[in-house]
Structure 1
Amino acid sequence: MRSPDQEDPFAPLRPLLAAEAAAEASPGGGIEAADLEQAVWLRLLELGGPPPEPDRWLRRAVRAEVRGHARRLRCERPYDDPDRAGPPTAGRGVEDQVLADEQRRAVRAAVRRLPGRCPEVVTALMSRSDPTYREISRELGISQGSLGPLRSRCLGCLRTILNSRVGSPGGRGNAR
């Protein structure tokens, strides 16, 4: 038991963590605020002390736990799941997988060539965790209202880059 003269270094973090967990917990998503708090407390205790920027660290840790939970929900299946037909790539041929991989690489390369903040925005939009506009705007430090127009401009630039990569179709079968 801790004596009253010893101060708890984590005491200032309790209300902030409770608020972050309550804000990020999804009622129908299967994760509760208490579960989020517990997971983040475990991360904090593994650190051995409060992090240098506790408010920022807590926000990131809570979001990481939410993303991890969402990922597990998408990927995990019980052994007796009758809807499970096999691995996610079952039914796809090797050629289809290679073409899909090549297409993903081309899109990622085009995203890296985008101007300004567009690479950050498009990468956030393409995230497997499927973040909301609110989450993306908080993560990137952009107002939520300006995210939509910025997204449209960035996707237009991406479309232009990808179309220029493909080129225009030439005359087929005509030797010149």
Structure 2
Amino acid sequence: MSAPRGVSIPQAGDGLWDRAARAFSAWYDGRPEAMDELVTLLTPVLWQIARASRLDAEDAADAVQAAWLALVRRAHTISDPAAVAAWLITTVRREALRRARATRDVVLPDGMLEAAPAAGPGPDEQVVAHDEHRRLWAAVRTLTERCQELLRVVAFEEHPDYARISARLGMPVGSIGPTRARCLDKLRIALSAGPA
């Protein structure tokens, strides 16, 4: 296995890499305590690689942890124990770069995440809502001036005050409900006649 770009992996005979290979073999052969030695030997190297990707301490620790978890899950894919150091270095570098890209894509000041508003509707939902809004008001404009006025007043009041509406529009209180119903029927017809 070749060294990742910018990382010099010493040749066989170097104590650190040889001990890492032996620790990996021992762990893989069923001696769980050998993983402690492997972690002790290689974590400082992995940590430096993660930090070289300009990760903060927390993200660097997560990248190193992810590399160790990947090793446990995929140890069977390493056929040469001498390659374990290079495999871990490559894995932590990829994870660190992935995390660095993710933090570059979303840069929030400290504490901003807690203060961020809840996610709103997505772009597709916004387009649909805008189109529905546009179609509704285009249909309202096809109604008589009296219907438009009545529907505007009634639409924006949760509990319309018929006495106030009567005074504002100059309509008898008893005719507001039936007139509103006729106007809404006309609006429904105008909406259904328009493009879907």
Task: Provide the TM-score with structure 1 as the length reference.
Answer: 0.41
When Rg is computed on C-alpha atoms for both structures, the one with the higher figure is: 2
Q: TM-score, normalised by structure 2?
A: 0.37
